[in-house]
Amino acid sequence: MSTRSAGETKRVRLGPEERRLQLITLGAEMLVDRSLEEVSVDDIAKQAGISRGLLFHYFASKQEFHEAIARHVSTEFFTAIMPNRELSLFDMLRDSIERFVDYATEHSASYRSVLRGPASVTPDMADYVNETRGAIADLIVSELPLPPEDPDLARLTLAIRGWIAFVEETILTWMIDKPISREALVDLLVESLPALALSPALIAALQG
């Protein structure tokens, strides 16, 4: 897909917003086999069929370009799993998890690279990955009917953060040889949140 769009754009004049997005998307695709810092401005400009100078018309510096890529990848993922608030709490969890699994499966190489590859330890990307994990944790905590002064809140926040790592690792391991069905994987992930993070009393309150 990237090759085709890159080929097409050599003949097409893009508007500023489209051009910016095209450059960011090409950069994001490069994260499959290299770290963010290794995403070369020259390679991207070449693929997009523009000059290096024109790329710097859209991004003030290489640093700014790399930050835009990291933000794009995080936002794309976070948007893909955004809860549908028209559903009940447990259905919302299942629905988001299904989209989490599908996003990871459809972007398996770059998903693995961002979480476990060289890109994951460059300071920028590590920050964005961490912020995304924090945002997911906040999203979940905000859905729970807990008063801010609840003594269990610190433990719950910590457990939810750990649960996100559980989901990431379970999906990464599952993708290697898919030892169980997608449906069984989704069941495991859905059931794991209340099992790991919520007290029996809180689960009863949510269901009741």
CB 186 within 8 A of CB 94: yes
Does the footprint of a second copy cover residue 196 (CB under 8 A)?
A: yes
Site string for a second copy, 103-132 (x = CB under 8 A): -------------xxx-xx----x------
Evaluate whether 103 touches 81 at the Cβ level (below 8 Å): yes
Residue 5 or residue 120: which is nearer to a second copy going by CB? Answer: 120
Of 9 and 132, CB closest to a second copy: 132
Q: Angle 157-162-165 (CA atoms, 0-180°, nearest 5)? A: 135
CA angle, 181 as apex, 166 and 2 as ends, to 5°? Answer: 80
In terms of Cα–Cα distance, which of 113, 107, 111 is closest to 36?
A: 113
Subset of 51-110 contacting a second copy (CB under 8 A) = none
Segment 160 to 179, residues that bind a second copy, using CB under 8 A: 161-170, 173-174, 179
Min dist CB 74 to a second copy, Å, is: 17
Do residues 132 and 51 lie in contact, with contact meaning Cβ atoms separated by under 8 Å?
no
Among 195, 204, 205, 207, binds a second copy (CB under 8 A): 195
CB of 119 vs a second copy, minimal distance in Å: 9
Rounded to a whole number of angstroms, the distance between the first and last alpha carbons of the chain is: 48
Q: Which is nearer to a second copy, 12 or 180 (CB)?
A: 180
The tokens for 5 are 């769009």
Q: Kindly state the DSSP code that residue 11 receives in the 8-state scheme.
A: T
Q: Is residue 1 within the footprint of a second copy (CB under 8 A)?
A: no
Question: Closest CB to a second copy among 23 and 198?
Answer: 198
Nearer to a second copy, 40 or 120 (CB): 120
Rounded CA-CA distance 47/36 in Å is 17
Give the span between the Cα atoms of 11 and 107, in whole angstroms: 28
Give whichever of 37 and 46 is closer to a second copy, judged by the CB atom.
37
- Contact present, 39 and 96 (Cβ < 8 Å): no
Position 33 contacts a second copy (CB under 8 A): no
Binding residues vs a second copy (CB under 8 A) = 116-118, 120-121, 126, 154-155, 157-159, 161-170, 173-174, 179-180, 184-185, 188, 192, 195-196
